[in-house]
Structure 1
Amino acid sequence: MSAMQPVETIEVETLTVGCDGGGGALGHPLVYLTLSAEGKVECPYCSRHFVLKEGAKTGTHGH
């Protein structure tokens, strides 16, 4: 049995994402995270990586 699971990377189509760890009772409190200018953010609780899906329309200027 492995001591650490690989960090999950989730593609999203919005600049703000909610993360609760995805583990039901084993998860963590729901937190809302805002993607950086580079289009990514890491959850401070579970270290999941959220990245902006290529071609996503975010409603920012120029789209």
Structure 2
Amino acid sequence: MTAMQPTETITVETATVGCDGGGGALGHPLVYLTLDQNGRVECPYCSRTYVLKEGAKLGHGH
């Protein structure tokens, strides 16, 4: 049994991020994800986790 690779965590400064898996042809379809109220979102395709940069504000306009 092989060990699972740890998922990649990417720090962002915006409430919406685009993820395509990164691997060019080996990636996945481009999806746009919105950070939750805790400033995090996980891509349903590749499990990359996007985290809001410390000090950045979520600007949902509400």
Query: TM-score range, shorter-chain basis?
Result: 0.7 to 0.9
Work out the CA distance in 2 between the residues paired with 1:43 and 1:6. 14
Deviation at 1:4, TM superposition (A): 2.8
Percent identical among aligned pairs is 78
Over aligned residue pairs, what C-alpha RMSD do you find? 1.7
Superposition TM-score, scaled by structure 1 size:
0.84
Match of 1:43 in 2: 43
Match of 2:26 in 1: 26
Work out the CA distance in 1 between the residues paired with 2:4 and 2:25. 19
Gaps of 5+ in 1: none
* Runs of 4+, deviation exceeding 4 Å: none
Alignment coverage as a number of residue pairs: 60
Superposition TM-score, scaled by structure 2 size:
0.85
Tell me, yes or no, if the aligned pair for 2:15 and 2:59 is still in contact at 8 Å: no
Q: Give the alignment of 1:51-62 within 5 angstroms.
A: 51-59=51-59
Work out the CA distance in 2 between the residues paired with 1:59 and 1:37. 11
CA distances 1:3-59 after superposition (whole Å, capped 9, x unpaired): 532100000000000000000000000000000000000000000000000011444
